[in-house]
Structure 1
Amino acid sequence: MMNKYLEMRSKQVEYESAREKEAREKEAREMEVTQSDDFSIKRCISVINTIEEVTKLEKAKAYSIFAKSKENRETFIC
């Protein structure tokens, strides 16, 4: 009887562990998506368009820089 109980508890622990792992992975994916949205090209363009001192030529150069990499966009937003 004790062996069956231990076997059942072991399966339960494995199941719960797998569910927790899936939840953490899902959370990590959602966080990644959220961060991508925070540094999207659309957001960067929106922000730079609100800056009155930036000329059209500077804006055009900034757009090409935003398109090159996420790191450029992240640096700009930060």
Structure 2
Amino acid sequence: MENRIKQIRKEKGLTQQELAYELSVTRQYISLLERGEAQPTISVGIEIANKLNTCVYTLFGFDKFECEQCHEDSGGN
């Protein structure tokens, strides 16, 4: 998951500081998450996914699954 946070954050053009501000956490915490030295709580993981406008399944590395919202957004069945 750590590499996904960094990759998606960069794709969205956000710095660690900007993401941290949006989540009301420290930049250091974001850095720890991106390096895999800390794991977010479920609620923080969901907040990160929401702020990065990505599916929580994708963020946590379960690409073969899609949440209902992602399925609707992609125009699926």
Q: Identify whether the pair has TM-score above 0.5, normalized to the shorter chain.
A: no
Q: Whose Rg is larger? A: 1
TM-score between both structures, scaled by the size of structure 1? 0.31
